[in-house]
Homo-oligomer: A and B are copies of this chain.
Amino acid sequence: RSFYRPIVSMTTIMEQQNKSYWAAIETQIDTHLKKSMPIRPPTSVFVPLHHLTFSASKSTAPPLCIAACELVGGFADDAVTAASAIHLMHAAAFTHQHLQLSDGPMHEGSTVEHMFKPNIELLTPDGMVPFGFELLGLSEQAQKNSDRILRVIIEISRAVGSQGVVDGMYQEILHGKLKGVDDEEMMMYVCEKKEGELHACAGACGAILGGGSEEEIEKLRKYGFYVGMIQGMLNGIGKNKQERFEIVKKLKDLALKELELFQGKNVDQISTLLEM
């Protein structure tokens, strides 16, 4: 009994430390966003902007961006603007996915509460996306390392655009119409686009901003991709399918392999994202 106890409590302490690591990152991103977009006149614009930014589901991509930056030896501050921009893009996509269109909400069975009218929920995300790019352009990093920021702008615009998240949402609608069709292959594709590539982008951007080598950037891009795939498969449509757990297990192994290059306590921290 005394043999197990220390181990158990060690695990608990580690778990708590890791939890507080992610919680601290989340707080940092929230604080940065709140500072960047204070509620000010016209409140008819900024109240919905604030609400829709913070009420959207949380994605693990923004915190991954900061963790990746730290893993390659950068400071969290170097990646917090990119993480905030990624959250804005995610929140914009989330809001549009639940928008009430004349042919019904895009997301079947959506239970999101609508605080605002459709036209506000249409336009507010239209403001959030350029705002994310503006934040990047105005960031401290843009002064110090304009090449890195330009690279991050390209990474993010690709990941969220018509060949990234938008494509995933798009295929999800097309697929969603064919109810009963059990097209697991298409759902994998949707996960790739909606979650995989966004997390891949987050990992790569964090590594770029932290001054990582090209090898480190590509490792963290792949790590992010696997993390995103796991998130998508366990939380997206068809999430309870038994066969997915096998795939998830394989994805975890692949993800851990990408971290072998790195050393230090940050490896343990970033790898706990696989258990979320």
A binding-site residues for B, Cβ under 8 Å? 42, 44-46, 49, 89, 92-93, 96, 99-104, 106, 117-120, 122-131, 133-134, 136-138, 142, 146-147, 149-151, 153-154, 156-158, 160-163, 166-167, 169-171, 173-174
The interface residues of chain B lying within 8 Å CB-to-CB of A125 are 126
The interface residues of chain B lying within 8 Å CB-to-CB of A147 are 146
Smallest CB-CB separation from A42: which chain B residue? B167
A103/B126 contact (C-beta < 8 A), A137-B153, A146-B146 known:
no
Describe A's contact surface by its main secondary structure.
helix
CA distance A161 to B42 in the complex (A): 14
Contact (Cβ within 8 A) A167 B134 = no
The interface residues of chain B lying within 8 Å CB-to-CB of A106 are 119, 122-123
Smallest CB-CB separation from A118: which chain B residue? B101
The interface residues of chain B lying within 8 Å CB-to-CB of A151 are 137
CA distance A147 to B142 in the complex (A): 9
The interface residues of chain B lying within 8 Å CB-to-CB of A130 are 89, 129, 156-158, 160-162
A127/B161 contact (C-beta < 8 A), A42-B167, A102-B102, A106-B119 known:
yes
